[in-house]
Amino acid sequence: MLRRLIIRFFPTLASRFEKDSREWMIQCQKCDHEISVWDAGGIRYKARGTVRRLGKCSSCGKTSMLRIYRPDKPADPDAP
């Protein structure tokens, strides 16, 4: 998988990808199951907006419209 190659050869880049990808959630429209893009094995980096994509839900196993979005989060306390 591409992600494994990135982690292996570009660890600094990978950690940035991971941070961004963990902020994005994939929600199944059938069972409301949510998983982060990273945990689902994907990468989403420097992206905006909400995307809908047809895919297989890892929870109910059905092919469903998956909503990929970044939940609103409070301001990062570590931000400068």
Interaxial angle between packed helices 2-9 and 11-23, expressed in degrees from 0 to 180 and rounded to the nearest 10? 130
SS (H, E, C) 31-51: CCCEEECCCCCCCCCCCCCCE
Among 5, 13, 51, 60, binds Zn ion (CB under 5 A): 60
Among 37, 57, 66, 68, binds Zn ion (CB under 5 A): 57
Does residue 70 belong to the site contacting Zn ion (CB under 5 A)? no
Does residue 26 belong to the site contacting Zn ion (CB under 5 A)? no
Does residue 31 belong to the site contacting Zn ion (CB under 5 A)? yes
Whole-number Å distance between alpha carbons of 11 and 33:
30
Interface residue list for Zn ion (CB under 5 A) = 28, 30-31, 33, 57, 59-60
